[in-house]
Amino acid sequence: MYDVLGLAVGAVREALDAAADLAIARGRARPAIDVREDEVVAAFESERRLRAPGLEGVSGFAELSRFVQTRDGWIRTHANYPHHRAALLDVLGDADPLGAAREWAAGELEEAIFARGGCAAAVRTAAEWAATPQGQAVAPEPVRVVHGPPPSLPHATGLPASGVRVLDLTRVIAGPVGTRYLGALGADVLRIDPPAIPELALQVADGVVGKRLVERDLRSDPLQAEELERFDVIVHGYRPGALARLGLSGDELAERHPHLTVVQLSAWGTRGPWGGRRGFDSLVQAATGIAQALRDDDGTPGALPVQALDHATGYRIAAAALRGLARRARGEGTEHASLALAQTAADLSRKGLSLSRPWPQVDGPPLQALPDGRAVVPPPGSLDGVALTYPLM
């Protein structure tokens, strides 16, 4: 078993450490931070523990989001969203897609599904992944420091990120986890979703916590310069080139809005032949060797006990945003950072397999009740002995 607990606790503590540093940069004494393992376990299981009217018993995975046998191995498919399911069935047919997959080689099927606009990943060993061009391209991407005349942040009057405005252009788990944690640390978070592709109800219920949500098609109604001036942080999950089509490329943001801290999220990294591909936690586990390492006795690939790549990357997103804000508060410019699920997978795999820290079964803290009837796992950690909570939006 991988040391998922170590990864999880380390990611949350990284975000809390960055929050404490931001507090110092904004003129406050460094707050004492604390995080309990049971809080972290519950937070990494947040979508399972959520209580929301109408979502009782709803799974995070669709029937066709699964491991499927191929002619020469296994592939992990993803069909949670209607357009991804349609792409999968366009390749395999809707009569017997699981049977049809046995006629394909895993790598060929992976490419065919991607070519139709879908998502899938052949199950590889760690060595096979390392030998691929994309496996060789995945590496920590350097932080870009943007210098200019941005005003420093005012002194904090409450939580470390109080008064900070965050634009959230992410979906599914990793990005929303990072931005909701920024909300728990005092930020005012606005999430914009495209109306043409509705988000899954479970992901909205769990991911849109402590933030505001609006629907807006940024292709036909792009963000204006004066709107961007009102934000301090942008967190986005757009693939390379997509932001440029919206007038929000990294170069444009750096030139026109040097006050912005920007955090980019991707599945596979922005470099290499897969830099423009969509991906999800389950697919990254399959491609990078994790699923194969956790296979059952009968050879069926396995999975981590939680969506650990998503959640850990989420807290790393929060940490990157907080570090960029601290740099700005010190008058040292701002930061543009890029994070990837595949890099988090590499960090987990680098630690190797460990039997010393299994994923624990814990009750965790009581759920936090929201005005609309939801009850959610509260954010992990405390500052100066005060437990974090989500703002009631």
Q: What six digits make up the tokens of 375?
A: 């009850």
CA of 161: how far to CAs of 26, 164, 194, 297, 327, in Å?
A: 9, 6, 27, 48, 13
Q: Which domains does the chain have, with CATH numbers?
A: 4-53+138-270+305-387 (3.40.50.10540)
pLDDT for residue 108:
97
Helices (H) and strands (E) in the chain, counts: 17, 15
Nearest alpha carbon to residue 3 among 359, 342, 291, 309: 359
Confidence (pTM): 0.95
pLDDT for residue 60:
80
HSE of 50, CA atoms in CB hemisphere, 13 A = 23
Rounded CA separation 372/155 (Å): 33
Per-residue pLDDT of the chain (393 residues; tens, 9 = 90+): 799 999 999 999 999 999 999 999 999 999 999 999 999 999 999 999 999 998 887 888 889 999 999 999 999 999 999 999 999 999 999 889 999 999 999 999 999 999 999 999 999 999 999 999 999 999 888 889 888 776 678 777 789 999 999 999 999 999 999 999 999 999 999 999 988 888 888 998 999 999 999 999 888 888 888 999 999 999 998 876 777 777 777 788 888 889 999 999 999 998 999 988 989 999 999 999 999 999 999 999 999 999 999 999 999 999 999 999 999 999 999 999 999 999 999 999 987 776 556 899 999 999 999 999 999 999 999 999 999 999 987
CA 143 to chain centroid = 18
pLDDT for residue 198:
84
pLDDT for residue 356:
59
